[in-house]
Amino acid sequence: MKPPDYLEGVASTHQDALLRDLAWLVVTPDIVAFPPSSPFSGRPSQAELGLTGALETWLNGLAIPELARNSRQASRMGHYHEQLWHWLLDRAPNTRLLAHNVRITRKRITLGELDMLYRRRDYPAPVHLEVAIKFYLGLPEGPGDATSQSRWIGPGGLDSLALKYRHLQRHQLPLSSTIPALETLGHWLAPRDTGHMEADLGGQLTQRMAMPGVLFYPWHAPMPSPEGATASHRRGRWCHVSDWPALAATLPADLLVAWLEKPHWLAPPTFDAFKPASQSLMPLLAMARHQPQQVMIYLPSTQRCERLFIVPDNWPRQVPLPPRLQAH
């Protein structure tokens, strides 16, 4: 069987998981975006990175031993995702990473950390970038109305899209505009990085967010996208373990399945990782009775790829409370 040329925009020629994850990071849209009236903007574009029309050439020219050594130390997917961004911003043709995990303090009290600071090679003004990799499952019934971000929760049930969005909007992104942060950045971004930057650093610093990931829609019930979702966000489906036979009956009999293991939840695996469902799904279903499992389904007849979360029948065991409203 001839493998597909691309899965989710990632070339099948990349055998190394790190290169596939980097490619996926560059081409995958954010799941949500701030409204146009917001002072915050979205992710660095391929044009800003200098990778428009040049992604494959750039990837093929990379040497990965250094990143491979670092990634082995990243047991959590969030840390692994941040390391990919560090590498991307520092090595892309048109960007330079200035700093990451910049701690902001006031009177020895930590106010928070800035994920990353970078600048374009052709423009010295610094950019504050916050990143998150998120996989949320939608609840057809839950807190708020049908499009509420509170209805989209993580597979572990510990966080929600509403909580993450509010934290970024109210704390993480505005942090770089506070006086303690500007004092820290004014010292950190001294002349070697910024050239002759004006004293009004706060007026030049911009805040950006990147939140790639996948929104998983319930297979058994229609559900609209959450408020703020990008039109092009990646979609999957989710089902309870006991619903799998009914869902499988709607799919072609020759479907292939691959299990996605953290931290490599980003790019699809190589094509040889996909096995006939009859060979590979029983162990996955057994694990899914206790813990949500993400799989990728490939349909050879249509060359279509789909993500699926299979969750225990008693999922969700808990639903995070919506964020408390704050006065403006």
**Could you read off the pLDDT of 30-85 as tens digits, one per residue?**
999 999 999 999 999 999 999 999 999 999 888 765 656 555 555 588 999 999 99
Amino acid, single-letter form, for residue 297: I
Q: Which of 162-166, 289-293, 302-306 has the lowest mean pLDDT?
A: 302-306
How wide is the angle at C-alpha 35 spanned by C-alphas 92 and 184, nearest 5°?
A: 55
207 contact partners, CB below 8 Å, separation of at least 6 = 39, 40, 41, 127, 128, 130, 173, 174, 176, 177
Domain ranges of the chain: 6-132+157-212
pLDDT greater than 60 at residue 190: no
Residue-wise pLDDT tens digits, 234-250: 999 999 999 999 999 99
Confidence of residue 87 (pLDDT cuts 50, 70, 90): very high
Mean pLDDT of the chain: 89
User: Percentage of the chain with pLDDT > 70?
Assistant: 90
Determine whether 137 is exposed, middle or buried from the number of CB atoms within 10 Å of its CB (0-12, 13-18, 19+): buried
Confidence of residue 4 (pLDDT cuts 50, 70, 90): confident
Q: In the prediction, which pLDDT does 74 show?
A: 53
pTM: 0.92
Residue-wise pLDDT tens digits, 117-149: 999 988 878 899 999 999 999 999 999 999 999
Q: In the prediction, which pLDDT does 325 show?
A: 64
Termini Cα distance of the chain: 58
pLDDT greater than 60 at residue 191: no
